[in-house]
Amino acid sequence: MTDKTRPVLLTGASGNLGRALAPALASAGYRLRLTDIAPFPDAVPDGSAFTKADLNDGPTILRLAEGCQAILHFGGISTEHPFEVVLGPNIRGLYHVYEAARREKARVLFASSNHAIGFHERPSGNAERLDADCAFRPDSFYGLSKAYGELMGRMYWDKHGVENLNVRIGSSFPEPVDARMLSTWLSYADLARMMEKFLEAPRIGHAVVWGASNNPATYWGKDHRDRIGWEPQDTAEEFRDKVGGKLSGDPVTERYQGGGYTAMDYTRGTPSPKDAFSLD
């Protein structure tokens, strides 16, 4: 698909992941339109432009997307907050992104999250790893907004043919900081390589990829990474001696894939069943 004469819109450009992606994609020759509600704290890469904007502002998002070949949507609330805080940028803002993509015939990469499936229990072996077609089990209002975002992508593909890749990001940091991240870590370099593969892929449809590096301890199994030809090159195992003993000590946090998000405001007396519709 790549046409480097057509720009790429990157929302959430001032966040940690946006700041890592902007120079990487610019150095690969992409013309970037960067946007965020917060100022861009770094030097804007050559060939790129930054516009301060709110995702709630539909006309501005439409204008920023004009002529774009793709939208890399990393904008919105990126951690757990009360529902009313999440609602605007993560639900209404996503609608504005997809409407812009529909109008411009652009594809969308949606930065989803493992928190869309966070109440699945951690696997005890390879056979229990989750595949990408697993049921949503969000662990927070933030995770719920990510599940909604993936469903919006499915609707826009079914109804309008808007191609979209939903990346269920695990934990994308410079390096893992605790034992859980030995399973969920995604390096910045692997993330940047994924963005390039997404932009280059000839055909995507509606797809889901687990956003994690090549971690032997991963919770996750099959996905659609073959659609873009992406294979992660980094691994969290390099950090096992450093962080392997760093556990939370909280039984809820350690039981579920979503980690600490599952324990926030948790009021159940006993764990929820593995089967979401069980009465046990």
Residues 75-128: pLDDT tens digits?
Answer: 999 999 999 999 999 999 999 999 999 999 999 999 999 999 999 999 987 779
Task: Please list, in sequence order, all residues whose beta carbon lies within 8 angstroms of the beta carbon of residue 275, skipping any fewer than 6 positions away.
Answer: none
Name residue, tokens 């409407």. 99
**What's the mean pLDDT in 173-179?**
98
The model's pLDDT over 1-37, given as tens digits with 9 standing for 90+, comes to 667 889 999 999 999 999 999 999 999 999 999 999 9
Asked whether the predicted pLDDT for residue 203 surpasses 70, the reply is: yes
How many CB atoms within 10 Å of residue 158? Answer: 10
Name residue, tokens 């699945």. 120
Q: What one-letter code names the amino acid at 269? A: G
pTM higher than 0.85, yes or no?
yes
* Percent of the chain topping pLDDT 90: 93
Residues with active-site annotation: 142
Q: What is the pLDDT of residue 11?
A: 98
CA-closest candidate to residue 114, choices 228, 233, 215, 238: 215
> Residue 137 — very low, low, confident or very high, per pLDDT cuts 50/70/90?
very high
Q: What are the start-end ranges of the H helices in 77-187?
A: 83-87, 93-104, 141-160, 181-184
Is it true that domain 8-263 has CATH number 3.40.50.720?
Answer: yes
Q: How many CA atoms lie within 13 A of 165 on its CB side?
A: 31
Pick the more confident residue, 1 or 232: 232
Name residue, tokens 């990474």. 225
Q: What is the pLDDT of residue 279?
A: 80
Q: Could you give the strand order of the β-sheet that contains 49-52, starting from the edge strand earlier in sequence? A: 49-52, 32-36, 8-11, 70-73, 107-113, 164-169, 206-211
